[in-house]
Structure 1
Amino acid sequence: MVNYPVGEGSVSVTIKDLDGRLAINELVQNNNPQALMVDRFFRLFTALGVDHLADPAELTAALIDWLDSGDGSYQEIHTDGLNIPVAGAEEAYYQGQQAAYPCKNGPLETLEELLLVKGFSEELLTIIGPHLAVNGSTKININTASDMVLMSLDAVITEQVAEMIIAYRQDSPIVAISELEKLLPDAAYSALKSLSNQKFLGTTSSIYQLTAHARVNDGSRVLRAEVDKTDNTLLLIKVD
């Protein structure tokens, strides 16, 4: 965070790299759940150990139903050789709540919107929020991904493997995935190399979130923007 004095007030600016996080809106594309992202979200929720708050498979299914435009609830999660029955949640579920509201059936605009989705609570959001972004791509930056996001990439990326990657990149950023060949177990390296070859894993970032907090006397305003530096596209702007 950087603070700048402005007149009688100040402006603080924070920049976050979003390419090290799972992009929620990439979970459903062209109204279809993307298998790669279904796997990642299920693994992330599992790795974070949120079972005491909600079932990882049910969370994944509810999120898919919130994003897609279909009326049928998601009924089974297929991931890592598992077929897990789920209930999902579409319009009927949300209209049946004490304070009824519609199912979004479209992309999220903010992380806080997750609180409207079946199974997502404030306590849960506190745990999963640092690993998620609203906008982004399916390509994860291995240099900025958390240990939990690294573990979401493939079932063979264990906590120990994730810790090895993080320890390695602390000395200097990873420039090429091939650097990890002699560091990691064969299965883990092969999985990461395959993701890299398919453009699902990289070593640089292009999508960032900028938050500017302006304070003057007793008043304050917050501006949040998300930008893609690849083509200087403004993905989101919000003023509170």
Structure 2
Amino acid sequence: MVPRRRVLPGRSASRFRADRRGSILIITIWSICFLSTLAVILGLGVRQKLQLVQRLDERDRLRLIAAAGIRRAIIQIGQDKESTFFSFTDRCADDPSVFKDMEIGNGSVNIRYDFFDDASGQTKIRYGLIDEDRKINVNTADTAVMERLFEFLLDGDETRSQDLAAAITDWRDADSELSTPVGSAEDSFYRNLTHNPYEAKDAPLEALDELRLVKDMDAGSMERLKDYLTVFGDGKININTAPKAVFWALGMGTYLTDKVMLYRLGKDKALGTADDNVFKSAPNIVSDLSQFTSLSVSEVADLTRIVDQFLKVQSDNYMIRAVAHLNKRPNTAEVAAVISRSGDILYWHEF
């Protein structure tokens, strides 16, 4: 008979305690792993929320800096409001010492715009205000003026230019009758659009972006035309700042346009320099140009008519484009505003 092995009570208790400690250790390790994972997940969530708050805070600060830049520009134009004419020699048109890298709080702002120089054929960055009165006002311009402008800027496409000009005229006029039987559009056209039909405004445009609602005004055409059109002002054009395309639209013709452009450039043939010639009085435009270069009888007659109907030497409305930066931060914010010479804000858009 085999004798039973006797298990000592102390040894069994010791083994039980060891197993128990092992289980507790495993549970503890798993708990630590779980809590660590949870902490990481929660930490990521908190970090993302903090980053979002920081970005929102940064965006607000950028907007405030841009807005402050616009206020400074308004003050600058106010200092010159007694002037009776405006040209590219004016500080508000281009002066980096005033409008470039203006320090505001913990950031800076640039008041700048892209300027196409007809004389050199190059686009340059200028630091200052954009003259809205150098542009064609789509609320007041007659159809023929818009036709000529569009033909000049849209690769000479006469039919398309006529259709687009007529469509804008019918968009803004108060009636529902077509201004031309072919190519234009009125309420019936817009009501029958497949996607999101609407009606013609039958009122003046309040913002230039409304032109995208007009028949045939696609994104490409808008990009080409936007720097030559405005919805602000009385429709008179500043002869000192108008581009070649606008002179052409007014019916000035190639030779007369070239003579006006050469007069403005001065001896150094560069726009915006100290030797520029400036038209200082609308009644004297014809005589000033006649003293600079010879004008034929027909040119005198044409210029006299165009001056009486379309031209002035002062500007009353300006666009300000403010681009704000925070120190040592990559993000920017842009605000565009249109102001009157008296400082009234006519338009405000945050990008």
Instruction: Pick the aligned partner of 2:110 from 3, 12, 25.
Output: 12
1:88 partner letter: S
Identify which of structures 1 and 2 has the higher relative contact order when contacts are C-alpha pairs closer than 8 Å and 6+ apart: 1
TM-superposed deviation, 1:201: 0.9
1:160 partner letter: Y
Distance 1:179 1:68 in 2: 38
Residues 182-223 of structure 1: CA deviation (Å, up to 9, x unaligned):
53332222222233345x212222221112222344554332
Which structure features the higher share of strand residues?
A: 1
Correspondence list, 1:15-164, <5 A:
15-27=129-141, 37-52=142-157, 55-75=160-180, 85-102=181-198, 103-154=200-251, 157-164=252-259
TM-superposed deviation, 1:19: 1.2
Contact 1:19 1:205 in 2 (8 A): yes
- C-alpha change, 1:138 and 1:16, in structure 2 (3 Å) is same
Larger Rg: 2
Aligned positions, number: 218
Percent identity reads 28
Residues 148-203 of structure 1: CA deviation (Å, up to 9, x unaligned):
1111112xx222321221111111212331212353332222222233345x2122
Distance 2:130 2:262 in 1: 21
- C-alpha change, 1:158 and 1:194, in structure 2 (3 Å) is closer
Q: What TM-score comes out, normalization by structure 2 length?
A: 0.56
**Aligned counterpart, 1:203:** 313
Contact 1:225 1:235 in 2 (8 A): yes
Q: Determine whether 1:186 maps to 2:297.
A: yes
**Aligned counterpart, 1:238:** 349
2:183 partner letter: A
Distance 1:19 1:194 in 2: 19
Residues 40-65 of structure 1: CA deviation (Å, up to 9, x unaligned):
11221122344549611111111012
2:306 partner letter: L
Unaligned runs of 5+ in 2: 1-98, 113-128, 267-276
Which structure features the higher share of helix residues?
A: 2
Contact 1:11 1:213 in 2 (8 A): yes
Contact 1:192 1:201 in 2 (8 A): no
CA RMSD, 1 decimal: 2.4
Distance 1:127 1:12 in 2: 24
Contact 1:208 1:227 in 2 (8 A): yes
